[in-house]
Structure 1
Amino acid sequence: MQRTKWMLTISLVFSLTFGGTGAANAEQDGAAEETTGVDALPFSDIAGHWAKDAILQAYQAGFVEGFEDGTFRPNDIVKADQFIAMILRAYSVTKNGKTEFDPSWLALLDKDRPGFSHRIKNALSATKFNFQNASSGYWATPYVNFLFDAKVLYEIDQLFPKNYSLFQKQLKRDASSYLIGAWFVKAEGSYDSKYQNYVLSKNELKDMNNFSQYTEGYKATILISGLMNGYPNGYFYPQRYVTRAEALTMVLRLRDKTLRKPFQPSLNGLIYSTNSGRIYLYDSKYALDMYTEMVELAKKHVTEGHFNLFGGDTVEVFSTKDVFEKNVYFTETGQYHLRPDDELTAFVYRDGSRKLGFSYPVPSTFESSKDYLNALYELLAGNGKGKDLRKKIEAYIVETAEKDFSFNGKNFSYREIAKRYEITIKY
């Protein structure tokens, strides 16, 4: 990745000019050996610093500048507003004197996270945000406002409501994890909640319970993603202040996945699957086996339409890929009245309710999923009784809106819910 395409120069007016600290840093694990002589360094105070290479990388890409006295002051403490500005600027480019969000990043966001892309574009259109400090009053107003306009933060947020004085305070590590985690989840998505709980129970950091009130929302996210790490002595230090060097390292990791250091606990003894590199945990091997079979049946029978694996528990079938993409877009942007339906959705509950089954909209033509539907009936019924189960269900559909019954030794449930038919078994 050529970082010069997405980083820009932060002017000296924006340089962080606050008190310093001599604290060691959690982001130094695996730092590269020094390769540049002191005389060749652009700043007089980074030789031997753990973040020297990261500072040089950001400086050479035009992401940061130093101070007029030739220093970078890597140990100065960051304020929340300065951290927010760094996050936003990391996703920008400057061309012909104009700074804007990186078009290539926005294009990827359109594809992978259309809801967030939609909110960013709406915010840009409404506010004319251009990465410039406010011309008067509080300098960071445009940056802070943009997080609210793009719904990364909300005005009723318990940690960072829309109160500018809160953003002018020095930033601690627990609060920084909240800000960078909130952006990450909007831009890249959240992790399985069961896996997050497992990570929090298995990480070896001794003080992960020392987060302040309301700051815990993303502490699993930042560990799993590798945006933040613990110190070599086994502590995270949630209440330690964040330095310029630390903030820079976090933001570089946010923008460049190759720099992240994910926490990866042992999965021995767990029942899990992976989808798009993310881990999903199950409460039973039966649930995983059934979901795996649902996926394999989709691969075999959905040959003309398009099927999508959502999370670690859902198989969605659409008539075409274009219909699927429209469904995602209108769902994520809240335009539900414009959302085209799927043809058929198979699912396994991983919440402990021990249910699995499938559903489809009323009406449904099964244009691309007729064979998959029959295969799902057979999967649930077993012993070659799929056709018999389908006849029974279709008779119930004519007679009633819901029915619980036994079939082939299994407990079935049929429901008509929100213009969908749902057929499940309890195992």
Structure 2
Amino acid sequence: MVRASGIELFDADGRRYLDAVSGIYVANIGYGLGEIGEAMARQAAQVPFVYAGDFATEAETTLAERVVALAPDGLAKAYFTSGGSEANEVAFKIARRYQRAGGNESRWRIASRWQSYHGATMATLAASGKVSRRRDFLPYMLDFPKLPAVSLYRAPLGLTAQAYGEEQVREVERRLIQEDPASIAAIIIEPVTGAGSGALVPPPGYIRGLRALCDRHDILLIADEVVTGFGRTGAAFASSNLEALPDIITFGKGVAAGYAPLAGVLISSKVIERLERAAPSSLFTGYTYSGHAVSCAAGLAVLDYLDRHDLIAQVRKRESAFLARAQAAFGRHQLVGDIRGKGALMGIEFVADRESRAPLDPALGFHRRVVEAARGLGLLVRGEAGVVDGVSGDHVLVAPAFNATEAELDEIFAMLAVAIEQAARSLH
């Protein structure tokens, strides 16, 4: 790509692409905003870098204060990394140190859900539940327990959403008991799932029940908000709208909106107090670019832009119309089973049969057909397989920039409808 503006990308041949997934759920305020680059340049000219283990910059401390102010109550301290995988690694380290500080030496494992995605490092990949991403690295995978994926669309017929959520909590408890709760330091979940399973929203009672289980067994609850943080679901953090709050939140992507590498961790007062009693320096874990001044300046400029244009509130207000556009464009297509999501994060799950909800044969690679057809039309979406059981079940995600125009949203869904039909015809 040689040029980008708004939600448009242009390649060296002059071809235009409409970006319906914000790069990879990152470019939440679109491309080409000169004011973000100008803020970064000013910081680079002033103090481009100090090692966070020795010093802080005004950009870092100010951004930390603003991120904490946006966070749910009880999240009291922020620590910055350069990417979401690093942020989740830091969260795991904090969970381990928290347990050791409480005398729980046996607690080191991180429980997570099948079909989840938490990063590309070895520990975060071990915590991820994507079979396809783990396959080549199984010899390196730590023994992290896997909990059931939760999908209201695939709940047993006749079961209410509330009953399904409560049943899933009981299943988590059964699994924890099998694995020995005394070995588990934390459970990590995505409040609304991202790439791994396509914008699944938790059923009522599920998060509240999960929180109660964690409290009962002295297990920390980590919310991976690398995708959802900073407005993607219509709130600064999706955790703000949950039935219960996590002990740690990880974030990334949207905090600097693709203008610089930046991510981080929010830590609760409960965790900080135990760690500081044990060893005042135990929160720090060193990365060369932790709290990088230029990246933090980008983060501040992005937060300023979000505030000035009231974009998070706009995401919330547009949610119903966003889903309605998709329903109108392709909701009745014979291969579209479910259209779901929150805010400006939408998943479209495909099925072989709408009545039985049977998935398509994974050998068909239907999600790839949709993505390729869309790209051929000049539309960028992302898709994956395995939403049902790690192998079967195709979905695509739509996650445009928050400031996409109404005309651009109309174009996105019109083009995606054509791409789905083209992919369907390619099966015959």
Superposition TM-score tier, normalisation by shorter sequence: under 0.3
TM-score by length of 1: 0.27
TM-score by length of 2: 0.27
Larger Rg: 1
Q: Which has the higher contact order (CA 8 A, sep 6+)?
A: 2
